[in-house]
Chains A and B, each alone.
Chain A
């Protein structure tokens, strides 16, 4: 995907192969879920990252409170005093020794808005998009992948071709085009409102084929397995087979690919905002803040730097958790 963050397939490839076997092998021992949790808990790095994410979610939810405590002005209040007579912004007022925050701990942006407040609020957009867009892509992708893989025939033929087309489309351009088209007036008969919904819709649209293709592949191999045949011979309906036999075996790859996709989608949203398509002003988005800073970052480095740092840490945390999850799911760890 050309979102500036190449997808890391290293662990995924293995984990998907192992998932099916793991469930068969460990039926007599502890439940796979319990084993999984044990392994995960022991992975200190992943747990730290998990706590960081929880912390981030908390920050996003409590953003107004945090800003109030820090005493910084709101996200769309330009502070005239923080700009010089040419309109150039002033830098961070925070100091370490003695520790004080000052009026603008991380400086102000080009029109005098406080960088700290906007960075804190920016977490909302990133996390919201990450979870909702990925969730949506997951839902669509898994459903369509299941249908294509299980029922085969013309459903599979059509869906596979659709996936091919979507995957051949340059993703970023598609997102730019759709984002720009739907930013002004609602698309799809009013369902997709401009602003955040457009971004979520566009990202979900661009990434569902990724899920669908993988799930389809999984289902293709799963449906040949003995336990499915057994269920069929017992007279189970398709519906039952899908939900009782196949879906549980997909949980592991679903988790794995979701954890791979979330950080990618965070970066995708930031890239879209950086390119000017995305949430509208004055809602702060880390990518948009970096974009605004490009003209002036040679003299005012702070409002390019801090949102980027926030992005880095957030995505890193998700990647670490993702790694940890994959290792926990796959007992034959390559560590």
Chain B
């Protein structure tokens, strides 16, 4: 009786371990914070690209439309792959794209925009990466979808793809 009980406990324990490790196989190793609750956009002041002026966040997101905040840099290779998709999104009238130029050199960033086109209605400069932290980002590229109530409703880490563009289009419809 005692042996049967021990066997039962061992089987339960081993199946528990199996389930845990099997689940672990399918989950990615890198951590991405979940956006469960809607976050408000941060309050900040940023330098405007190609000018000496500064702008407040409430002036940037003043229209009653959807916004996309895209963190990019000229030195970031994945940013090049997502750029045509951003250009495609920028043609949509119910959304405005805000670029956050992350830890970049001005001349290189300007060349990037001249070469590949400018999908952004406004570009802000994040020289030291602290503006990115305000958004909860930890690198480039990263894309945030902001709804009409000025809440961040989606966060895409890494370059966006056609699937994500379709998802965004579905949300803003």
Judge: A and B partners, yes or no.
no
